[in-house]
């Protein structure tokens, strides 16, 4: 639809601090106005009364090499099909598969699809249980640099598996090489913590992993209950985790099949460590539960005591900052292309389920209604 007014929704835009009942007018795919009663002429109206209108939601950690392996999900299922306008693949492709990713995934999606390139040439398509960094030949700096320089529009960082299973006998050497690459390319590292796949492998101590990270790097799976997480065996936050956070290292939820544990989340939150971003770690194997979609993952954080506004900030302006893309997304700005999510917050009791099948009572559910990109309205 070329021109329309999204009428009388509660606009929550943490980037600007806006929270109130407003109309949003879209003309030729561009946000043309935000205010009260913008629907004076005969512009078609989409009634958003009773609904929440946010900047387009951003899911910063998924597996989107669609159809490939056990994991590759269609980006439009977790994207526009879930009320989300931007999705980010976390390391499915190493440099060898990067062009396939661009041509086959990004270019064919209605959702914006960005990418963390895998440090390993093998990428993550086979799944996380393999020693993809356990042989020094599997990191090829020059080829990664070439792929990044040719694809800066899509690549937002470098994915590193900090697990014993992935690192094998190489130990922390791949992290040092990732650090060198991140510095050379001026890209953040996205580091997976938690030994969730290999039962016999030992993860490197979290303190040793965090030594390689700097402000702007991202730790994903902050609420994992698996070895290698942010808590010691008494449930206390490792001091290095707090120091990392204070120095500007960002923390992402990365729910996934294994890595959102409500007990861990409560302890981490009680000790004052808040997530910077909320993400699904969505793939083919968790869409039907326990993950479902980003709005459901956001509602689980609300059940843990985080406010709706804070959770919307995590999925919009904070996520845009984490991706280094605040100029392109994460807020509703007049004159910019429309990237908007419309959600329904339902006040009802339900049981939120974590990756270990623990449940906690929740009183708000978030249901996606539509995702708007430009002049296209994608209803879920």
Could you list the residues that contact Zn ion (CB under 5 A)? Answer: 90, 281
Whole-number minimum distance, CB 159 to Zn ion, in Å? 8
Strand order in the sheet with 112-118: 57-62, 84-90, 112-118, 155-161, 189-192, 218-220, 250-252
Closest CB to Zn ion among residues 90, 175:
90
Whole-number minimum distance, CB 144 to Zn ion, in Å? 19
The closest alpha carbon to 312, from 297, 325, 324, belongs to 297
Q: Are strands 155-161 and 189-192 parallel, antiparallel or unpaired?
A: parallel
Whole-number minimum distance, CB 55 to Zn ion, in Å? 24
Closest CB to Zn ion among residues 281, 354:
281
Closest CB to Zn ion among residues 6, 314:
314
Spatial separation of the C-alpha atoms in residues 322 and 68, rounded to whole Å = 27
Helices (H), the chain: 75-78, 98-100, 141-150, 164-167, 173-185, 206-210, 239-246, 262-270, 294-303, 308-315, 317-322
Whole-number minimum distance, CB 63 to Zn ion, in Å? 6
Whole-number minimum distance, CB 18 to Zn ion, in Å? 32
Whole-number minimum distance, CB 221 to Zn ion, in Å? 8
- Asked if 283 and 294 count as a contact pair (C-beta separation under 8 A), the reply is no
Whole-number minimum distance, CB 309 to Zn ion, in Å? 27
Closest CB to Zn ion among residues 90, 230:
90
Closest CB to Zn ion among residues 13, 281:
281
Closest CB to Zn ion among residues 281, 310:
281
- Asked if 121 and 181 count as a contact pair (C-beta separation under 8 A), the reply is no
Helices (H), 52-163: 75-78, 98-100, 141-150
Residues in the chain: 380
- Asked if 158 and 217 count as a contact pair (C-beta separation under 8 A), the reply is no
- Asked if 119 and 181 count as a contact pair (C-beta separation under 8 A), the reply is yes
Strands (E), the chain: 3-13, 18-27, 30-35, 45-47, 52-55, 57-62, 84-90, 112-118, 155-161, 189-192, 218-220, 250-252, 339-353, 359-373, 376-379
51: left (phi over 0), alpha (psi -120 to 50) or beta: beta
Closest CB to Zn ion among residues 9, 131:
131
Closest CB to Zn ion among residues 63, 378:
63
Whole-number minimum distance, CB 357 to Zn ion, in Å? 19
Q: What is the DSSP string of 265-312?
A: HHHHHHTT---SB----B-TTTTTTT---HHHHHHHHHHTT--HHHHH
Whole-number minimum distance, CB 13 to Zn ion, in Å? 28
Closest CB to Zn ion among residues 117, 370:
117
Select the residue whose beta carbon is closest to Zn ion and give its number. 281
Q: What are phi and psi of 316, to 5 degrees?
A: -130, -90
Whole-number minimum distance, CB 86 to Zn ion, in Å? 17
């Amino acid at each position: 639809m070329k021109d329309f007014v999204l009428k009388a929704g509660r606009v929550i835009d943490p980037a600007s601090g806006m929270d109130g009942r407003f109309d949003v007018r879209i003309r030729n795919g561009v946000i043309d106005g935000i205010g009260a009663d913008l629907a004076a002429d005969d512009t078609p109206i989409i009634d958003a009364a009773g609904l929440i209108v946010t900047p387009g939601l951003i899911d910063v950690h998924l597996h989107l090499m669609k159809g490939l392996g056990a994991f590759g999900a269609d980006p439009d299922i977790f994207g526009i099909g879930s009320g989300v306008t931007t999705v980010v693949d976390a390391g499915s492709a190493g440099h060898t598969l990067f062009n396939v990713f661009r041509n086959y995934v990004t270019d064919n999606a209605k959702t914006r699809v960005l990418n963390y390139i895998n440090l390993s040439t093998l990428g993550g398509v086979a799944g996380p249980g393999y020693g993809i960094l356990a042989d020094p030949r599997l990191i090829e700096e020059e080829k990664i640099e070439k792929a990044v320089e040719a694809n800066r529009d899509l690549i937002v960082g470098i994915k590193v598996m900090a697990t014993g299973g992935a690192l094998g006998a190489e130990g922390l050497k791949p992290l040092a090489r990732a650090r060198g690459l991140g510095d050379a390319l001026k890209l953040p590292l996205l580091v997976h913590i938690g030994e969730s796949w290999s039962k016999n492998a030992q993860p490197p101590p979290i303190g040793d992993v965090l030594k390689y990270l700097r402000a702007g790097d991202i730790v994903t799976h902050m609420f994992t209950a698996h070895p290698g997480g942010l808590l010691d065996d008494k449930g206390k936050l490792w001091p290095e985790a707090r120091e990392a956070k204070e120095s500007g290292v960002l923390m992402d939820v990365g729910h996934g099949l294994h890595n959102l544990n409500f007990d861990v989340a409560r302890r981490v939150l009680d000790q004052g460590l808040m997530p910077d971003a909320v993400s699904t770690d969505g793939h083919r194997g968790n869409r039907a539960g326990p993950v479902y979609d980003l709005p459901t993952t956001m509602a689980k954080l609300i059940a843990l005591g985080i406010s709706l506004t804070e959770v919307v900030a995590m999925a919009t302006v904070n996520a845009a900052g984490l991706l280094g893309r605040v100029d392109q997304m994460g807020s509703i700005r007049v004159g910019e292309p429309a990237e908007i999510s419309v959600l329904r917050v339902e006040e009802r009791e339900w049981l939120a389920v974590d990756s270990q099948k623990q449940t906690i009572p929740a009183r708000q559910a978030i249901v996606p209604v539509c995702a708007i990109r430009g002049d296209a309205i994608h209803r879920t």
